[in-house]
Amino acid sequence: MEGRYSRVEEEDLRFLREVVGPENVSTKGWELAVSSANAVSEIEGRAEAVVWPSSAEQVSKILAHCSERRIPVTPRGSGSSTSGNAAPVEGGIVINTRRMNRVLEVSREDLLAVVEPGVIYEELNVELRRLGLFFPPEPASGSVSTIGGMVGNNSSGFRAVKYGVTRDYIVGLEVVLPSGEVVRLGTRAPKSSIGYDLVRLFVGSEGTLGFFTKITLKLRPLPEARRTGICYAESAERASRAIFDVVASPARPSAVEYMDSRVLRLLVESGYPYREAGAALLLETDGTERAAEDEISRLESICRSHGNDFRRVEGGEEEALWKGRRSLGALVAKLSPAVIVGDVDVPVSKLPWMVEEIYRLGDEMKVGLVVFGHAGDGNLHVNILAGGTDEPSRRRAWDLYAKIMERTIEAGGAIAGEHGIGVEKREFMEAQHGRLALDLMRRVKEAVDPSWIMNPGKILPGPS
Ligand SMILES: Cc1cc2nc3c(=O)[nH]c(=O)nc-3n(C[C@H](O)[C@H](O)[C@H](O)COP(=O)(O)OP(=O)(O)OC[C@H]3O[C@@H](n4cnc5c(N)ncnc54)[C@H](O)[C@@H]3O)c2cc1C
């Protein structure tokens, strides 16, 4: 791919300044560094310029120019992706959505919101809460995640078990294509049967097909009540048996979080009000007062029927348990100078086997790791403690990562449940999808972005 792309020249910068105003283009070292890094991931980009447009029209001019000049373009929200998804690995320009941050419409009647891509997840929900509504697919990083980034990665979180993922909520998109054309996809209708679903194609495309400038989201009424319970099991196996029954129960929990003994110890040592056990499930129900109460009672019966201890929690303790769960990523990061974050998703029936297999591989390869996750939907966050930054430790850690990807695919799972492919998982795409399906994806990419300027180096290996 060497020589495929042009570098950003003074003439390009002049053009960008004309389009967005000189104060909205930067080539300052620190701004390029901030726009090139990715959270957690070791993948670093090397942006040559950062641009902050404020409208689809400006984005359209920029993309048309970059296509003609073959300058790589990386769309970017907060850059909190964990696999290098928003790192400009081929250089070029980063288009940051910070100035495209308006909530354009909220319709209580239609249960829809129309937003610009730079709106922050939590800020949107603060606004929606006043109307008794919410946008459910909450990532743990919701205080920084932009809606554009969530759509780019098809993000989700611990409530996906009941409410689904970002893709389930996107009904319309305005997208600037690499050519500069602006296409409007989808409808405002609650359901549709109108041919190829291009909205779903763009959701999860990680900025490789076009730039979202408007996003139409489905909303849900806020639940009236929530209930939390903690289930402690003697062994991972007993916890797993409870998970199967919980998931198959009509109670429909809004969260089923799995923590094994190592994770529980870490939480206890960090001062959170958990206790040590073989494994634990943090369970939540929501809905009307009556439904939330009735459902948590059913979950309690299920947990107890497998010989597990179950306790309802509320108030400060409930808050502290959830805070501990949300802090796990940060707590794990303190255990090792380098952590590789995996995010595999397997059929729920394979969950106990997968957890055991991951730890077995870690022991065999002498690499420490910590596993926790959204058990209700088979999603495991595998945190590989890469040990040192020296080459042999790093290599062992990445070898383990590759083995975990292999096992996930063998189990019929997905190598990424919610964090996307980025750069780190690209090499596993053929094993995941097969050669023919991957080739089909490549043909879609070629059709939409023939110059491969949109976020090159992500999802697919480069053009053949
Ligand atoms: C501590 C921590 C916890 C996390 N927890 C979760 C979690 O629970 N669930 C989860 O799903 N993820 C999680 N993540 C990953 C990440 O935070 C989410 O994927 C988040 O939604 C990304 O938002 P962002 O604004 O940072 O997007 P970015 O990282 O900036 O971008 C994400 C992708 O979308 C593309 N993109 C951004 N804007 C646009 C646009 N306007 N048009 C086209 N493409 C665009 C980018 O090119 C990139 O490929 C976590 C990350 C961290 C660091």
Per-residue pLDDT tens for 357-395? 999 999 999 999 999 999 999 999 999 988 766 788 889
- CA 17 to CA 11: how far, in whole Å? 10
The token pair at 418 is 């919610």
Residue 337 has pLDDT above 90, yes or no: no
- Co-location of 239 and 200 in the same domain: no
Contact 230, 282 (CB under 8 A): yes
Q: Is any ligand 1 atom within 6 A of the Cβ of residue 78?
A: yes
CATH number at residue 247: 3.30.70.2190
pLDDT at 41: 66
For ligand 1, what atom is nearest to the CA of residue 150? 21
pLDDT at 463: 64
Contact 201, 100 (CB under 8 A): no
- Co-location of 232 and 318 in the same domain: yes
- Co-location of 211 and 117 in the same domain: yes
- Co-location of 382 and 313 in the same domain: no
- Co-location of 399 and 369 in the same domain: yes
In a domain, 259, yes or no: yes
Q: With pLDDT > 70 as the criterion, what percentage of the chain qualifies?
A: 98
Identify which of 370, 342, 351 has the alpha carbon closest to the alpha carbon of residue 161: 351
Residue 108 has pLDDT above 70, yes or no: yes
Per-residue pLDDT tens for 63-90? 999 999 999 999 999 999 989 999 999 9
CATH number at residue 114: 3.30.465.10
Domain membership of residue 173 as a residue range: 103-221
- Co-location of 245 and 182 in the same domain: no
- CA 343 to CA 347: how far, in whole Å? 14
Name which of 35-49, 84-98, 180-194, 311-325 the model is least confident about. 35-49
* Last residue of one domain, picked from the residues 410, 430, 450: 410
Report the mean per-residue pLDDT for the chain: 94
- Co-location of 308 and 231 in the same domain: yes
Residue 44 has pLDDT above 60, yes or no: yes
For ligand 1, what atom is nearest to the CA of residue 209? 43
Distance in Å, CA 92 to ligand 1 centroid? 20
pLDDT at 199: 98
Contact 74, 92 (CB under 8 A): yes
In a domain, 382, yes or no: yes
- CA 400 to CA 386: how far, in whole Å? 10
Q: Is any ligand 1 atom within 6 A of the Cβ of residue 145?
A: yes
- Co-location of 112 and 217 in the same domain: yes
Residue 55 has pLDDT above 90, yes or no: yes
- CA 147 to CA 142: how far, in whole Å? 9
CATH number at residue 351: 3.30.70.2740
Mean pLDDT of the region 418-433:
95
Mean pLDDT of the region 40-60:
91
Contact 292, 225 (CB under 8 A): yes
* Last residue of one domain, picked from the residues 190, 221, 252: 221
In a domain, 14, yes or no: no
* Last residue of one domain, picked from the residues 266, 298, 328: 328
- Co-location of 237 and 293 in the same domain: yes
pLDDT at 339: 87
In a domain, 355, yes or no: yes
For ligand 1, what atom is nearest to the CA of residue 38? 29
Residue 93 has pLDDT above 80, yes or no: yes
- Co-location of 107 and 214 in the same domain: yes
In a domain, 455, yes or no: no
Mean pLDDT of the region 122-147:
96
- Co-location of 360 and 319 in the same domain: no
Range picked from 215-224, 254-263, 371-380 for highest mean pLDDT: 215-224
- Co-location of 232 and 322 in the same domain: yes
Q: Is any ligand 1 atom within 6 A of the Cβ of residue 205?
A: no
Identify which of 407, 288, 303 has the alpha carbon closest to the alpha carbon of residue 345: 407
In a domain, 435, yes or no: no
In a domain, 310, yes or no: yes
Distance in Å, CA 155 to ligand 1 centroid? 7
- CA 73 to CA 204: how far, in whole Å? 17
In a domain, 86, yes or no: no
Give how many domains the chain has, as a whole number.
3
- CA 239 to CA 249: how far, in whole Å? 15
pLDDT at 1: 45
